[in-house]
Amino acid sequence: MTRSFVKLATCAVALSTAVPPAPQPLALTIQNKLGLDRQAETISIPAARISTLLQAYGPGGVLVKDGQTGKFIVSQAVDNDGNGTVDELLFQTNIKANASQKFTVVGLKDGALQQPKSEHTTFSRLVPERIDDYAWENDRVAFRTYGPKAQQLTESGSKDGTLTSGMDCWLKRVSYPVIDKWYAGNLKEASYYHKDHGEGYDPYHVGASRGFAGVGVWEGDSLYVSKNFVTYKTLASGPIRTRFELTYAPWNANGRTVTEKKIISLDLGSNLTRFEERLSSDKPLPNLTIGTTLHADPKGVPGEVKGEPKQGWFRYWEPIDDSFVGTGIVLMSSQVQGWKDRRTNAKDQSHLLVMTSPSNGALTYYAGFGWTKSNQFKTAAEWDQYLAQYAQRLASPLVVSFGGK
């Protein structure tokens, strides 16, 4: 009896001190069901799929391995709501038409040391040195919008402020970040970023317009809009995705009180930034309308509007200085109510308007620009092709399946 008890006790101790098995890697397969090659596609792995790896190794110790090369590739753990918990793991791939690829997610104790460094990045931040802009960028494009101090300055009669919830394009032609450099230059030289020093510049006029992708409610031949954002929250800042949140004071839409929050993100390799609008109103809204400003060209050369509502994309191609800029909007075609090319003599109020039907108070759309001097697009036809293919990709996302070898 005594020997048996000792054996049982020894086994119990051995079992209690045994090292638990290491979490198993997660295999996944990506399928492209479109007949076109896809570049810089972002793949999202829900945190629930890799929870044991995250718990064992932490976000920095979880890596993605390319099934073909066997090499680790750049990935990014993202906390989407700022609550301190990882919600998804991102990585990017280029995939051929009608092709499939395999990847594996693994965990390593020294994973943070083995994580590849990205050649490029995304970035965003509040810019208090320029009143209170919020600016964001990736390797292809840059943007900004305006905060409460800029609004207060305008409303107090100062010429230094800006009163708009419109969105501004920063035309860059380099793949490295420029936001910090351009704002720093502006502190030393007034209007620094309005001049092209070889990296690009900001000639794009927003004023009281919607810029390239602001929103409002269209009714009775009028567009009702919010003022500047009142609060912000930075949620992620590269390398693959930057993500942030803007909230707005309640605003009036023809007798309706609207509350609005924007969740904005920008992925590496994309000319379009993602806008997730979340709206509520004390009375039903007839639409949510996306506006793109139609600039009055001082040389008398008109821009060109084009809309493909059944495909889900719209654009404006216009001359700016000695080059051309194309702005564009892409969304699910099922949410398009209608659109119009609205011209008016009222300052900053001519717009390409896309009227949409939000789903449960939410609308997701993509908007951005292409600049001929960036050498990304040479013609309006090339910009059209980019938007058309973006719409195709949106309508037919990559298929991700988990498991297998």
Nearest to 308 by CA among 324, 276, 291, 330: 330
Distance CA 382, CA 370 (A): 10
Band (19; pLDDT cuts 50, 70, 90)? low
Three-state DSSP class for residue 139: coil
| pLDDT tens digits along 131-188 | 999 999 999 999 999 999 999 999 999 999 999 999 999 999 999 999 999 999 999 9
The mean pLDDT of the chain is 94
Structural domains in the chain, sorted by start: 22-116 (2.60.40.1180), 123-395 (2.70.98)
Q: What is the pLDDT of residue 405?
A: 56
| pLDDT tens digits along 310-331 | 999 999 999 999 999 999 999 9
Phi, psi of 51 (to 5 degrees): -60, -40
Distance CA 389, CA 379 (A): 16
Distance CA 231, CA 247 (A): 5
| pLDDT tens digits along 355-378 | 999 999 999 999 999 999 999 999
Given a cut of 70, whether residue 228 has pLDDT beyond it is yes
The pLDDT of 320-345, averaged and rounded, is 96
The pLDDT of 3-19, averaged and rounded, is 45
Strand order in the sheet with 200-201: 123-127, 133-137, 142-145, 168-172, 200-201
**Do 335 and 356 form a contact (C-beta atoms < 8 A)?**
yes
Given a cut of 90, whether residue 334 has pLDDT beyond it is yes
**Do 70 and 111 form a contact (C-beta atoms < 8 A)?**
no
Of all residues in the chain, the percent with pLDDT exceeding 70 is 93
Signed CA dihedral, 267, 374, 398, 72: sign only: negative
Three-state DSSP class for residue 24: coil
Nearest to 92 by CA among 139, 50, 45, 40: 40
